[in-house]
Chain A
Amino acid sequence: MKENKIFISGNHAFAEAAIRAGVKCYFGYPITPQNELGEYMAQHLRANDGVFLQSESETAAINMVIGAAATGVRAMTSSSSPGISLKQEGMSFLAGFELPAVVVNVMRGGPGLGNIAPAQGDYFQATRGGGHGDYRTPVLAPASVQEIADLTFDAFNLADKYRTPVMLLGDGMMGQMKEPVIFPEKIKKLPEKEWALRGRGTGASRYMASLILDPREMEQHNWKLFRKYKEIEKNEIRYESYLMDDAEIVIIAYGTTARIAKGAINRVRKDGVKAGLIRPITLWPFPSKVLNDLARTIKHFIVFEMSTGQMVEDVQLALCGSAEITFHGRPGGIIPTPIEFARIIYREYQKMKKK
């Protein structure tokens, strides 16, 4: 059977996959390096019976998403780091209302306006909720354009299943890079959401409110959300293991950095260095138990990030001091090379062997 492969950029793949996943409404505001996503939606969403609207701000875009999501349709927005900061208010409301939505963050260098080069400096913001209040957001981090397509489908499904906003966390390299992709089939019909606001019709009226003035009721709502997050932690953790069978030293990296780490691992393996990779695909929930179990036999971990060290804190929490952790980061929009990572791996491997 001939596979229907399309050569496509990451930003276009987010959009094409979302259309195939049945997204009805896309609202967004231009920001580099993710503009191609909105442009693709402008070009193709209306032809698929959808709604594309360029909003007056990122704040407006996320609130348009809330309105659309409240009526039960699949809705999404996308942006890059500074714009995602503006969407955090809306993310908090989505969490409070328990509304499904997909938010794409194609990260760039920061803080402030930073630059438009790829970076991973929004890890804390993405995985800790980001906005105000006691909530979490499931975060999926693709490391190839194919995975962008697949995880976009998963993001919509997770959002609907758990009634929560879901973030797809890429970076400028993921967004701009082109690769061959086989897209999942277009979803023809999605199930109705009985909770959606569609006008009361002949039934009872409904309301969605995040304001819960009675602290006892608010506490109950917080615990309800907590139970949902526990359920997500139980069911939805995803990661990739690469050359882990005989690994003596383990690299932990996600997204673009994980791709580069694979190149580095292939390089050092030629010289007999037994390195493997654990690539978290869900950044929240984080595969903590996987790492903790590994620490029974693996005594040295290396964390690579395009930041000054954010995910490394989750690794520290997971390992609880039971293994040595080396961190190497390149913030500010620098894309490290496989040779650079390979040098670190050689150095740490030799140190480990000397012990």
Chain B
Amino acid sequence: MNTMKLKNKWPKYYKKDVVTHYCPGCGHGIVHRIVAEVLEDLDLGKRAVCVNPAGCAVLAYKYFDIDTLESAHGRGTAMATGIKRARPELFVFTYQGDGDLSAIGTAETIHSANRGEQICVIFINNAVYGMTGGQMAPTTLLEQKTTTSPFGRTPQVEGYPLHITDILATFPGVVYAERVALNGPAGVRKTKKAITTAFQTQVDGLGYSIIEVLSACPTNWKMSSVDSLKWIDEVMSKEFPPGVLTDKRGEQK
């Protein structure tokens, strides 16, 4: 019989003995682990500061074993600007959801990106407000039912899904922008590669980077975990196609 040895090294910057508060099938836990792994791979944990959002990931400090600061809803990149400008030697990233980043925090998101702040943004797009119970987000798809678009989102009433990362990618100050889909093992590997690239961009002093992660919210999508991954693949990825949206690293050197 073939036996496979599971190599499961606990990431250095992921707290031990924590019981997850995230729902089964949620993408946050996977992205948290990836972030912790990349912090270790690039040896950034000792000088890293993460800005947590208002939203499900407000409790990110329970998982990340690095210095973290909570933000008011939407203000993450303003706080990150303050941290990085005050102490440029720190490695600074925000971790934000779609409501936080692309609704209430749109002004802060746009202007920090346009200034080309030397920060990284991890943007979790799950097309709903998770923490408050599944209301419509700017990224909610057309026809998608949420508690505040119970008959499905329509352009006439709620407008179209907002492609914020595509907008940011057009800015000269945004050096690296990529969208990835957390839809299976390959998606997990791609997400790790993208976050590594983003973090390295700041390490190299090249400027602002953002990684948008299409991430499952089975609870609020009212789907099984397996169906949720399928939905990312077959529906969400059609509206928000994964790929590198801009890569200006060569121009910055």
Contacts and interface: CB of A to CB of B under 8 A. Distances in A.
B90 A71 contact: yes
A63 B90 contact: no
B66 A208 contact: no
Nearest to B111: A56
Contact of B78 (A64, A70, A75): A64
A68 B66 contact: no
Given A57-B107, A63-B79, A201-B46, A206 B86 contact: no
Nearest to A204: B65
A279 interface: no
Contact of B49 (A24, A73, A197): A197
Interface in B22-68: 45-49, 51-52, 58-59, 61, 64-68
Nearest to A57: B107
A191 interface: no
A156 interface: no
Given A67-B80, A202-B46, A207 B86 contact: no
A66 interface: yes
Given A197-B67, A199-B46, A209 B61 contact: yes
A68 B85 CA distance: 7
A254 interface: no
A113 interface: no
A51 B46 contact: no
A59 interface: yes
B75 A211 contact: no
B71 interface: yes
B83 interface: yes
Given A67-B80, A71-B86, A90 B46 contact: no
Interface residues of A, number: 39
B162 interface: no
B142 interface: no
A209 to B, nearest CB: 4
Contacts of B65: 200, 205
A286 to B, nearest CB: 29
Interface string B65-93: 11111111001001111111111001100
Given A197-B49, A199-B46, A201-B46, A63 B78 contact: yes
B92 to A, nearest CB: 8
Candidate in B46, B59, B87, B111 with the most chain A CB atoms within 10 angstroms: B87
Contacts of B86: 24-25, 51, 67-68, 71, 73, 75
Nearest to A59: B75
B81 A53 contact: yes
A75 B82 contact: yes
Contacts of B51: 67
Contact of B82 (A27, A198, A207): A27
Contacts of A209: 52, 58, 61, 70
A305 to B, nearest CB: 32
B166 interface: no
Contacts of A63: 71-72, 75, 78-79, 82, 108
B71 A70 contact: no
Nearest to B104: A59
Top 4 A-B residue pairs of the complex, sorted by shortest distance between their CB atoms:
A67-B82, A63-B78, A207-B61, A199-B47
Interface of B: 13, 45-49, 51-52, 58-59, 61, 64-72, 75, 78-87, 90-91, 107-108, 110-111
29 contacts: A25-B85, A51-B85, A55-B78, A56-B111, A59-B78, A59-B108, A60-B81, A60-B111, A63-B82, A64-B78, A66-B79, A67-B51, A67-B82, A67-B83, A68-B85, A70-B79, A70-B82, A71-B49, A198-B67, A199-B46, A200-B48, A200-B67, A201-B46, A205-B13, A205-B68, A207-B67, A207-B69, A209-B58, A211-B70
